[in-house]
A = this chain, B = another copy of it.
Amino acid sequence: MFKIAVMGCGVVGSGVADILLEKKEELSTRFKDEVALGAILDIRDFTGTPYEAYTTGNADEIFANPDIKLVVMTIGGLDLPYQLSKRALESGRHVVTSNKEVVAAYGKELTKLAFDNGVQFLYEASAGGGIPVIRPMNICLSSNDIYEIQGILNGTTNYILTKMKEDKMSFADALALAQKKGFAEANPTADVDGHDACRKIAILSSIAYGAFVDYKDVPCKGIRDVSYEDLALADKAGFAIKLIGSSKNTKQGVVISVEPLLLDKSHMLSGVSSVFNSVLVKGTYTGDVMFYGKGAGKLATASAVMGDIIEILCGTNPKVLPGYAENDAKVISDSEGMSRYYIRIKINGDVESTEVRQVAKSIFGEEGKIILPDNEAPSYMAVVTGYVSEKNLDAKKVELEKTLSVTCENIIRVEG
């Protein structure tokens, strides 16, 4: 008897409940045990739905049932799901969650708590939605030393950037469309300012590098400043612009960020469009490995939750605590590092763009690549610089703005 309680019957929770109801027989046959939905914790009224018979508003009832061996935590927010997860683990029940806030904030503590209680705390659905990425890193790639991760980790922002590019839309219009379609929330901050991606890259990096990365240490920049003009100019120069969560494991510490980046079109992440997510993992033995799929959505996310449940049913048994539950990562900044940069320059009325081109060329050197829009007498242009340090870039920007009556309106780093 292996009964599963779903706590929080919202989008993801109801998806898990649906799959458990649909696949009860198949799972029970596969694992030679009665594997079934045992209870749903939710204060809403589910009268007349398939959930009705399972629902209770009282968590104590669930914790009093010895047949419940696993809790699916799909309550949103932070404190309540954390407290209930803790209680479940302490009572000797496995916990599987899609709640990235809880994992990013308490993943270290809850993983240790699970280990001490001889159960598991798994969260495949918390970073990458329906994409299998945590398990492949934990098992398939785990003989490798993983040294770098890059990911498109937020479907909302990827949808907005895709729409802006394809339909020549402004950020505001694309955001409004995403909200209308249900891909973005009324308050879109968590997505468009990069906070969601930030938690996910912290979670993935913690696992990959065996040291807990605090998401609050991750420098984070969203996509509000990216314009259609940026996407079009970058495209002309052979780049896509994507919101990328990335991290590198160096001897000095972990370099990590969430920011829009120009990706060369040969970069595998550059072709990931709309609500799809993708994670590129670099390992010492395996080189580049990429995982791609739906980063959100009821059934895709529920499918990842089911993967965790199935792993537990397969009987895997970690013999030692994972590194991130014991060690903290040192997050360092890479301000000395060299990068190329894309700079969009607004040309004010009294400057001929040919003059701007000459000055830009003299400041950014032969490596600086000028990109002009298709229209005649353009009021803006862009430069993709050669490799410069952040400090050096600032100096060049000041020099440009001092020499000419122009404004550097947007600066985006180029990947690689």
Chain A residues with CB under 8 Å of chain B are 15, 19, 23, 27, 29-33, 124, 130-132, 135-136, 139-144, 266, 268, 270-273, 276, 278, 283-294, 297, 299-300, 302-304, 306-307, 309-311, 314-320
The reply to whether B299 and A294 contact each other, CB–CB distance below 8 Å, is: no
Known contacts A30-B319, A287-B130, A315-B315; is-contact A306 B136 (Cβ 8 Å): no
Q: List 13 interface pairs A-B (beta carbons < 8 Å), by A numbering.
A: A23-B143, A29-B320, A131-B289, A132-B289, A135-B135, A142-B306, A285-B306, A286-B299, A286-B303, A286-B304, A287-B294, A289-B292, A292-B292
Nearest residue, chain B, Cβ from A31: B319
CA A358 to CA B115, docked complex, whole Å: 73
| Pairwise interchain contact A300-B286, C-beta atoms closer than 8 A | yes
| Closest chain B residue to A297, Cβ basis | B287
Q: Which chain B residues lie closer than 8 Å to A132 at the CB level?
A: 136, 139-141, 289
How many copies of this chain sit in the oligomeric assembly?
2
Closest to A290 in B: B292
| Contact A140–B285 (Cβ < 8 Å) | no
B299, A288: Cβ atoms under 8 Å? no
Enumerate chain B residues within 8 angstroms of A286, measured Cβ to Cβ. Answer: 130, 293-294, 299-300, 303-304
State A377–B66 Cα separation when bound (angstroms): 81
Name the one of B287, B310, B320 contacting A293, with C-beta atoms under 8 angstroms. B287
Q: Determine the distance from Cα of A193 to Cα of B15 in the docked complex, in whole angstroms.
A: 44
Please name the residue on chain B nearest to A318 by beta carbon: B314
Chain B: which residue is nearest A29 at the CB level? B320
A300 surroundings in chain B (CB, below 8 A): 285-287
A26 to B, closest residue via Cβ: B143
If the complex has contacts A291-B291, A292-B292, are A303 and B141 also in contact, measured as CB distance less than 8 A? yes
Which chain B residue has the least Cβ–Cβ distance from A283?
B303
Give the residue of B15, B139, B292 whose beta carbon is less than 8 angstroms from that of A307. Answer: B139
Partner of A306, one of B23, B143, B272: B143
